[in-house]
Amino acid sequence: MKFSKILMASAMLASMMLASCGNGEGEQSNPAGASTSSVKASSSKSSSSKFVAQWSKDPTLHVEPTCESEGKDVERCINSSAANKETILPKKAHTWGAKSEKVTAEGKSGYWTNECSVCHTKAIIIDALNWTKIEGSNKDNTGATLKFSTNGNYAEYEFNMPTALTNVTVGIYGWVDYWKDGSNNNDQRGFFSTKANDGSANVGVKINDTDLTITNHKTYEEMGMSAGENGNSTFALCEMGTIASIAAGDFKLTYTRLESYNLNITEIWLMYK
Ligand SMILES: [Zn+2]
């Protein structure tokens, strides 16, 4: 009760002080439909000398995120000429449909295709367990995922790329070992969190013998791998980086464990328009 009186008094004081805080520009109008955030009351003793800015989300400047681009929220100060505050809203996930029938050929890796129903980004999805060559061994002997035993192990995937692709985002689909007791919290690591902590990546991808530059520095949790059951995180599609072009015809992708924290993968995605 006492607090609400202070709050009201402060709000009145704040509005009375507009003339001295507006830098001659006067009060910025509150856009239609905007809801004002509550005034943060300072103590009644000092409120006579303090100006409290009131921020309001401006729906006319809000940009909704899509699966192709980030969005933003914009807050305007409604009682001073302070610069707008912007909050970036992360991209939404694509809305994938059902995978195609698997495309297979003798001696080649199998893959599926898919398409986002919203932005029509397409995907070629390589079956990570369908390598044409493996160096080292798969730690996961259940046949469910690919998890290399040691650093330097790699798998190669080859097939006939049906068409040339440009601006291709490469991602892996899988999960990391995750123990809730904190003994193996791989969800807090990412593509770059090597034990040596030297800034190099845990895994590497080569496409037609060209290294993919991995640009994603998020943790696996930030990429969607949250705590799951039995020491496994949930599955997530983790975007690694983008390669400018992939030619039609003979295609080869090499996936290598460099210093992996028990990354278990089932698919490698190539996403393009
Ligand atoms: Zn999309």
Domain CATH for 235: 2.60.120.260
Percentage of the chain with pLDDT > 90?
63
Q: Is the pLDDT of residue 44 over 80?
A: no
Burial class (CB in 10 A: 0-12, 13-18, 19+), 115: middle
Structure tokens of 23?
């830098």
pLDDT of residue 83: 93
Residue 273 CA to ligand 1 center (angstroms) comes to: 10
Has residue 105 been placed in a domain? no
pLDDT band at 188 (very low <50, low <70, confident <90, very high): confident
User: Is the residue at 96 inside a domain?
Assistant: no
Residue 108 in this model has a pLDDT that exceeds 90: yes
Residue appearing with tokens 């367990």? 129
Confidence of residue 40 (pLDDT cuts 50, 70, 90): very low
* 271 Cα: distance to centroid of ligand 1 (angstroms): 10
pLDDT at position 248 over 70: yes
Q: Which helix (H) or strand (E) covers residue 13, if one does?
A: helix 2-16
Q: Which amino acid is at 207?
A: I
Note whether 117 and 63 are same-domain residues: no
Tell how far the Cα of 198 is from the centroid of ligand 1, in angstroms: 34
Given a cut of 50, whether residue 36 has pLDDT beyond it is: no
Q: What is the Cα–Cα distance from 174 to 176, expressed in whole angstroms?
A: 7
84 and 34 in a common domain: yes
Residue 9 φ then ψ, to 5°: -60, -40
Q: Do 142 and 48 fall into the same domain?
A: no
3-state helix, strand, coil in the chain (%, to 5): 10, 40, 55
Q: Residues 129, 263: one domain?
A: yes
| Beta-carbon contacts of residue 249 (< 8 Å; ≥ 6 apart) | 160, 161
| pLDDT grade for 186, boundaries at 50, 70 and 90 | confident
Query: Do both 138 and 212 map to the same domain?
Result: yes
- 47 CA to centre of ligand 1 in angstroms: 50
Query: What's the number of domains the chain is made of?
Result: 2
What mean pLDDT comes out for the span 141-150?
Answer: 90
Residues 50-64, mean pLDDT to the nearest whole number? 92
Q: Assess whether 66 and 122 both reside in one domain.
A: no
Contact 122, 115 (CB under 8 A): yes
Q: Does pLDDT of 91 surpass 50?
A: yes
Residue-wise pLDDT for 164-179, tens only, equals 999 999 999 999 988 6
Q: Does the structure show a pLDDT above 80 at 202? A: yes
Average pLDDT over residues 198-209: 93
Give the Cα-Cα-Cα angle 93, 98, 99 (nearest 5 degrees).
Answer: 100
**Residue 118 reports pLDDT greater than 90:** yes
Does 212 lie in the same domain as 129?
A: yes
pLDDT attached to residue 203: 95
Question: What's the CA-to-centroid distance between 83 and ligand 1, angstroms?
Answer: 33
Q: Based on the domain organization, do 119 and 253 belong to the same domain?
A: yes
Q: Do 83 and 206 share a domain, yes or no?
A: no
CA distance 77 to 38: 12
Distance in Å, CA 147 to ligand 1 centroid = 29
- The rounded distance, in Å, linking the Cα atoms of 209 and 29 is 59
Residues with CB under 5 A from ligand 1 (ion): 67, 94, 116, 118-119, 121
Structure tokens at 146: 């690919």
pLDDT at 149: 92
Domain identity same for 194 and 64: no
Evaluate whether residue 102 is within a structural domain.
no
Whether residues 129 and 261 fall in one domain: yes
Q: How far is the CA of 114 from the centre of ligand 1 (A)?
A: 11
Task: Find the 234 Cα to ligand 1 centroid distance in Å.
Answer: 21
Q: What is the distance in A from the centroid of ligand 1 to the CA of 272? A: 10
The upper half-sphere exposure of residue 212, i.e. CA atoms within 13 Å in the direction of its Cβ, equals 31
Instruction: With a cut of 70, say whether residue 42 has pLDDT above it.
Output: no
Provide the pLDDT for residue 113: 98
Which range of residues forms the domain containing residue 55? 2-89
Residue at 118 is within a domain: yes
Determine, yes or no, domain membership for 97: no
Task: State the Rg of the chain over Cα.
Answer: 26
Name 207's Cβ contacts closer than 8 Å, sequence gap at least 6.
170, 243, 246, 251, 252, 253
Distance 237 CA to ligand 1 centre (A): 13
* Encoded tokens for 171: 């991602």
Q: Do 48 and 152 fall into the same domain?
A: no
pLDDT higher at 185 or 218: 218
Integer angstrom CA distances of residue 203 from 34, 74, 142, 155, 234 = 47, 38, 22, 12, 19
* Distance (Å) from CA 120 to ligand 1 centroid: 6
Model confidence at 141: pLDDT above 90 = no
Q: How far does the centroid of ligand 1 lie from the alpha carbon of residue 48, in Å? A: 52
Rounded distance from Cα 195 to ligand 1 centre (Å):
35
Between the CA of 162 and the centroid of ligand 1 the distance, in Å, is 22
Of the pLDDT bands very low, low, confident and very high (cuts 50, 70, 90), residue 185 is confident
Residue 32, in any domain of the structure: yes
Whether 227 has a pLDDT exceeding 60, the answer reads: yes
33 inside domain: yes
Rounded distance, CA 31 to CA 25, Å?
16
Please give the distance, rounded to the nearest whole angstrom, from the Cα atom of residue 265 to the centre of ligand 1: 22
Place 48 in a pLDDT band, splitting at 50, 70 and 90. low
Q: How far, in Å, from the CA of 269 to the mean position of ligand 1?
A: 14
Give residues with Cβ within 8 angstroms of 128, minimum separation 6.
Answer: 145, 146, 155, 157, 172, 174, 255, 265, 266, 267, 268
This prediction has a pTM of 0.77
pLDDT at residue 26 tops 90? no
Distance, in Å, from the CA atom of 242 to the CA atom of 168, rounded to the nearest integer, reads: 5
In the reported structure, the alpha carbon of residue 263 is separated from the centroid of ligand 1 by a whole-number distance in angstroms of 26
Q: Give the domain-ending residue among 89, 123, 150.
A: 89
Contacts of 57 (CB under 8 A, 6+ apart): 34, 35, 73, 74, 75
For residue 269, pLDDT over 90 is answered with yes
132, pLDDT greater than 80:
yes
